[in-house]
């Protein structure tokens, strides 16, 4: 730029420079790149050499260098200013523009960066956000101080600083929101993992311990797992546990119930489809295999699929390749399969309903979920666990007492844990006070269809005379121990027959023999 230009030609060049600056500001999302670009434009189009932008670090209250422009490389990041320190710190503290004709004459000048030319003027302006708070400093050296236009140049720098401020504010906001989102994502991940940890599966019976051991061992490998077991035994629960304890835990866990869809829909659901592949395929769709890439796919009720579908599935399992419905392109996928069924797959293979090759491909690591009637000793723990879960869902305290549990333990539970969970949910609704006792269990309909499993829980050895134990529970327990002979129960409780019969009446204890 020529020396000694007129005021009007300065305005013209600055207008051009401003246009370039605004362009830089809208072109990138990287704050460092933007600020370097702005300083570069100021140099090239507005005659402002040797510039620097420093920004406030809200955490420390110090200024750090956002960008420097000299032409020579500078170790910018290492330099920091406290508010009030040096000329840059002073501009931040006062929130005022500083114009100096010769920087060497300015006593506050520290030259920490060593970028300034001592003989040139200096203009430093605060960068302010909405409420006027200074959040940084824009500084540069006009290439001359002899044209009497320093205050015009300072005004121009203030305008540029305002534009930068918008950008700083936005990038802070984006960073804050991004941090909030990643925190939330990490919290949710921890929560999901917590919900699917081993703590969420209750069981101490030896058959369940074996299942836990198998799950623990298999989780960390990519092996295909086949979960077998009656309805309601916890197959889906185990599938979740395997995924969330595997190396794929941070990736997607996608579920598909193969029995829920007719064959053609199942295929497009699993593999996706191209636009126009069939009537209603108005756009391309990814399919569950695509969604689960890198993660795990749970194929529930795998025994309910057709031979045609089984053939397609076999190919993905063997080659890791598939095509979308109506598509010619072969897609690759890296998915861990966890399948489940309550069918007798061996019989289905024998009958020709299930492909033998697929059976062997899936059956790499079978895990058998034992029915609840084979682990009756777990019923009390599972019942208490489920009551706590229901209490959390209903947002109120709930308690199940021992007399109720003793009834539950005698039932055969053909619907397994799911049936138990449904019954307890009904019982919880029936219980106004939040206490699930034997009467509430009776109300929820178990007694009508009780199918004894031959297992009778011994009444807990309550200290029948202990006044801290709920009296109604003590009386029920004594009655159970006495085979419901009231006189005998009265003796156990050190009561007279009259006293016990009075209490049975007032406490509305129904005499029954279950
Ligand atoms: N051992 C267990 N501890 C705690 N909760 C369990 C246990 N087993 C099953 N459940 C709970 O019982 C319910 C049924 O389990 P799940 O859906 O996993 O069974 P499933 O075998 O997939 O049944 P289906 O074949 O009917 O689909 C779920 O709410 C699950 O959380
Ligand atoms: Mg299931």
Q: How far is the CA of 90 from the centre of ligand 2 (A)?
A: 68
- Distance between alpha carbon 39 and the CA centroid of its chain, in Å? 42
Ligand 1, pocket residues at CB < 6 Å: 201-203, 229, 231-237, 342, 382, 385, 417-418, 421
- With beta carbons less than 8 A apart as the criterion, state whether 434 and 397 touch: yes
- With beta carbons less than 8 A apart as the criterion, state whether 274 and 227 touch: no
Three-state secondary structure call for residue 67:
strand
Q: How far is the CA of 104 from the centre of ligand 1 (A)?
A: 79
Please report which ligand is nearest the Cα atom of 383.
Answer: 1
Residue 186 contacts by C-beta under 8 Å, 6 or more apart in sequence? none
Residue 48 contacts by C-beta under 8 Å, 6 or more apart in sequence? 39, 42, 123, 140, 141, 142, 143, 153, 157
* pLDDT for 1: 47
Pocket test for ligand 1, best of 211, 235, 237, 341 (most atoms within 8 A of CB): 237
Q: Which segments within 386-500 are labelled E, that is strand?
A: 399-400, 435-436
* pLDDT for 2: 47
Q: Which residue has the tokens 């029915």?
A: 371
Q: How far is the CA of 460 from the centre of ligand 2 (A)?
A: 34
Q: How far is the CA of 354 from the centre of ligand 1 (A)?
A: 25
DSSP state of 449: G
- With beta carbons less than 8 A apart as the criterion, state whether 355 and 399 touch: no
Residue with CA at minimum distance from ligand 1 atom 13: 418
Closest ligand 1 atom to the C-alpha of 239?
18
Q: How far is the CA of 423 from the centre of ligand 2 (A)?
A: 18
User: Which contiguous run of DSSP H or E holds residue 142?
Assistant: strand 134-142
Q: How far is the CA of 340 from the centre of ligand 1 (A)?
A: 12
* pLDDT for 482: 77
Please report which ligand is nearest the Cα atom of 215.
Answer: 1
* pLDDT for 463: 65
**What is the C-alpha separation between 503 and 396, in angstroms, rounded?**
29
Diameter over CA atoms, the chain: 119
Please report which ligand is nearest the Cα atom of 387.
Answer: 1
* pLDDT for 409: 87
Q: How far is the CA of 342 from the centre of ligand 2 (A)?
A: 9
Strands 399-400, 62-69: pairing is: unpaired
Whole-model pTM: value is: 0.64
Closest ligand 1 atom to the C-alpha of 421?
12
Phi/psi at 213 (5° precision): -60, -45
Closest ligand 1 atom to the C-alpha of 240?
18
Pocket test for ligand 1, best of 408, 417, 420, 423 (most atoms within 8 A of CB): 417
**What is the C-alpha separation between 45 and 43, in angstroms, rounded?**
6
- With beta carbons less than 8 A apart as the criterion, state whether 442 and 384 touch: no
Residue with CA at minimum distance from ligand 1 atom 16: 234
* pLDDT for 190: 76
Token pair of 167 as six digits: 């950008």
Q: How far is the CA of 167 from the centre of ligand 2 (A)?
A: 52
- With beta carbons less than 8 A apart as the criterion, state whether 309 and 263 touch: yes
Residue 489 contacts by C-beta under 8 Å, 6 or more apart in sequence? 475, 478, 479, 481, 482, 500
**What is the C-alpha separation between 441 and 425, in angstroms, rounded?**
10
Query: How large is the C-alpha radius of gyration of the chain?
Result: 38
* pLDDT for 461: 56
pLDDT along the chain (514 residues), means of 10: 70 90 85 89 90 85 83 58 80 92 86 82 92 90 85 94 88 86 84 76 91 91 94 94 92 90 83 78 81 93 89 88 82 92 92 92 93 92 94 91 87 90 90 85 66 56 68 84 82 84 85 61
Closest ligand 1 atom to the C-alpha of 238?
18
* pLDDT for 68: 85
Residue 505, burial from CB neighbour count under 10 angstroms (0-12, 13-18, 19+): exposed
Closest ligand 1 atom to the C-alpha of 234?
18
Please report which ligand is nearest the Cα atom of 234.
Answer: 1
Please report which ligand is nearest the Cα atom of 418.
Answer: 1
- Sign of the Cα torsion 248, 253, 259, 263 reads negative
């Amino acid at each position: 730029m020529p020396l000694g230009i007129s005021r009007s030609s300065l305005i013209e060049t600055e207008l051009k420079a401003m246009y370039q600056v605004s362009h830089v500001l809208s072109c990138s999302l990287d704050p460092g790149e933007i600020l370097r670009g702005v300083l570069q434009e100021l140099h090239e189009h507005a005659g402002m050499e040797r510039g620097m932008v420093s920004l406030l670090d809200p955490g420390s209250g110090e200024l750090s260098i956002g960008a420097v422009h000299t032409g020579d490389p500078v170790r910018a990041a290492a330099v920091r200013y406290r508010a009030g320190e040096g000329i840059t710190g002073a501009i931040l503290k006062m929130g005022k523009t500083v114009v100096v004709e010769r920087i060497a004459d300015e006593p506050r000048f520290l030259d920490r960066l060593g970028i300034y030319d001592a003989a040139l003027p200096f203009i430093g302006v605060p960068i302010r956000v909405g409420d006027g708070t200074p959040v940084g400093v824009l500084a540069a050296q006009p290439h001359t101080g002899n044209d009497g236009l320093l205050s015009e140049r300072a005004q121009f720098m203030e305008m540029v600083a305002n534009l930068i401020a918008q950008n700083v504010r936005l990038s802070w906001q984006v960073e804050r929101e991004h941090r909030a989102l990643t925190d939330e994502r990490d919290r949710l991940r921890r929560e999901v993992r917590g919900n699917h940890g081993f703590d969420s599966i209750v069981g101490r019976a030896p058959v369940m311990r074996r299942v836990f051991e198998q799950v623990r061992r298999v989780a960390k490998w990519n092996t295909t797992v086949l979960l077998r077991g009656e309805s309601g035994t916890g197959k889906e629960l185990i599938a979740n546990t395997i995924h969330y304890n595997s190396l794929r835990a941070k990736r997607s866990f996608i579920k598909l119930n193969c029995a829920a869809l007719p064959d053609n829909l199942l295929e497009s659901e699993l593999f996706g489809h191209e636009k126009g592949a069939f009537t209603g395929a108005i756009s391309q769709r990814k399919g569950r295999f695509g969604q689960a890439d890198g993660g795990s796919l749970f194929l529930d009720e795998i025994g309910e699929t057709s031979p045609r579908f089984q053939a397609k599935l076999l190919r993905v399992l063997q080659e890791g390749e598939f095509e979308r419905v109506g598509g010619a392109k072969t897609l690759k996928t890296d998915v861990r399969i966890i399948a489940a069924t309550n069918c007798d797959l061996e019989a289905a293979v024998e009958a020709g309903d299930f492909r033998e090759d697929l059976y062997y491909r899936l059956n790499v690591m079978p895990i058998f979920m034992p029915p609840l009637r084979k682990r009756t000793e777990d019923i009390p723990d599972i019942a208490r666990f489920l009551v706590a879960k229901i209490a959390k869902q209903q947002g109120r305290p709930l308690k199940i007492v021992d007399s109720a549990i003793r009834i539950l333990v005698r039932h055969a539970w053909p619907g397994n844990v799911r049936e138990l969970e449904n019954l307890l949910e009904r019982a919880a609704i029936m219980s106004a006070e939040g206490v699930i006792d034997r009467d509430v269990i009776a109300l929820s309909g178990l007694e009508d269809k009780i199918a004894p499993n031959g297992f009778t829980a011994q009444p807990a050895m309550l200290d029948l005379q202990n006044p801290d134990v709920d009296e109604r529970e003590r009386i029920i327990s004594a009655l159970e121990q006495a085979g419901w002979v009231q006189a005998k129960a009265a003796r156990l409780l050190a009561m007279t027959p009259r006293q016990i019969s009075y209490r049975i009446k007032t406490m509305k204890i129904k005499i029954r023999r279950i």
